[in-house]
Structure 1
Amino acid sequence: MRIYLLPVKRIGMRVWSIFQKWKLIRLEILIHLKTCQAHGSIIKEPPMHLNQKQRGVAVGMVVGLAFSFVVVFYGARVFINLDAADCFAISFLLPAVALFVAIARLAKHRFFNAADIDGSALTAGTDQARLLQALLQNTLEQLALAIPVYIVALFGSHESVQDAVPVCACTFLAGRVLFFVSYKRGASARAFGFAITFYPTVLLMGWQLLLVFS
């Protein structure tokens, strides 16, 4: 039986150590700012207030981060009995499906729309074409980050990290679908879909870096 709590505990200890160092740095910065303020060498700025959209994005990202943490460090148990071939298939084909959907949607729109059929290099592009292009671009960026992280994890020596890759791939596809569906409803609506695509990759990458340097 594989032990998953050990790496989680180690990561928690490292995060706590970083948090303590950050508190000391923050205290030094505050002391420096107060000193500068006393000498009149710093200009006061009004406090920044988040608007409704920014608060919505922040909530979606925080919830997405919490969900991603559970997925990466505990959801891997779902795929614990997969053989290597199935693990690789899930890990790489599901993100590829997300990219395929983004490409296919834009290609379909251009084929059936005379204003966009010549492509973005030859036309200004309609609003819908630009929206679909933005979705494709964002998916490519997410995929460019995820693939090397997945490859290193799957070829690494830590079984718990290897088992986390397929569930990250599933979350990648689910996040892309949510992002596509909610994009038109604004930044706060699509924040959760973006977060559960992005954060599992970041957490998996951070987990591997901690194991390498610990």
Structure 2
Amino acid sequence: MTGGVEGTDEARGATLADKQRGVVAGAGSAMVISLAVGIMAVLYDPFGPLSGALDARLQLAATASLPVVLSLLVTVGWIANTRFFHIEDIDAAAGPVEGEHMRRLKAILANSFEQGVLALATYWAAAVLLPAWLLDGIVFAAASFPVGRILFASGYRKGAGGRALGFELTLAPTVLLLVATVCFAASRLW
């Protein structure tokens, strides 16, 4: 979405291979971090035994949803604030032009929304379907969401490699949690 925006690796003449190396490095680092944290969550049970009772599971899912929703709220507020203080953006879609900064912010919001939908659905499914000994994974996935979003937004200007760590640090815990949830749900069918 950066398409030639000054300050990006694209504007500096980076090749596709250069960008791909940056993405792989960032995404690989995030996957290693996510796997390590996920394994520690299961092995060390840092929050103690979480109750398997349905009301406790629903409370966990609702609480885990808050970092996602707050991340979206902060991004929407960031866009509103930017619009208020920039002439090219104050009229939003009704205006004749849109500033480059606003384009980046809207791309960050779109990606955050996409990741948020996936995360919320996963947290709720995991809270209901996973065995109690794996529920700590929901807490770690929820805690990683805003960290990933901050890293994604702060690296966005640097291009694909600059935002890869944040993107994957948001996505990987959700994917790992979803895979575990699907596996446990499928195992109950047979």
TM-score range, shorter chain: 0.7 to 0.9
Matched, 1:107 2:80: yes
How many positions carry a matched residue from both structures? 166
Distance 1:86 1:80, change over 3 A: farther
Counterparts of 1:48-87 in structure 2, within 5 Å, are 51-75=17-41, 77-80=45-48, 84=56, 87=60
Higher Cα Rg, which structure: 1
Match in the other structure for 1:22: none
1:195 counterpart (152, 168, 179):
168
**Is the 1:94–1:170 Cα contact (8 Å) retained in structure 2?**
yes
The alpha carbon displacement at 1:91 in A equals: 0.5
Query: Within 2, Cα distance between the matches of 1:202 and 1:189?
Result: 21
Distance 1:82 1:133, change over 3 A: same
Counterparts of 1:137-152 in structure 2, within 5 Å, are 137-152=110-125
Match in the other structure for 2:108: 135
Match in the other structure for 2:178: 205
Percentage of pairs with the same residue = 34
Backbone CA RMSD of aligned residues: 2.1
Deviations 1:54-105 (Å, cap 9, x if unpaired)? 1111111111111111222323523335673873454011111111111011
For structure 1, the 5+ residue unaligned runs are 1-48
When structure 1 is superposed on structure 2, of 86-95 and 169-178 the one drifting more is 86-95
**Is the 2:27–2:164 Cα contact (8 Å) retained in structure 1?**
yes
Query: Within 2, Cα distance between the matches of 1:120 and 1:91?
Result: 33
When structure 1 is superposed on structure 2, of 73-82 and 204-213 the one drifting more is 73-82
When structure 1 is superposed on structure 2, of 180-189 and 136-145 the one drifting more is 180-189
**TM-score where L is the length of structure 1:** 0.71
Q: Which has the higher contact order (CA 8 A, sep 6+)?
A: 2
**TM-score where L is the length of structure 2:** 0.79
Query: Within 1, Cα distance between the matches of 2:22 and 2:86?
Result: 34
For structure 2, the 5+ residue unaligned runs are 1-14
Match in the other structure for 1:178: 151
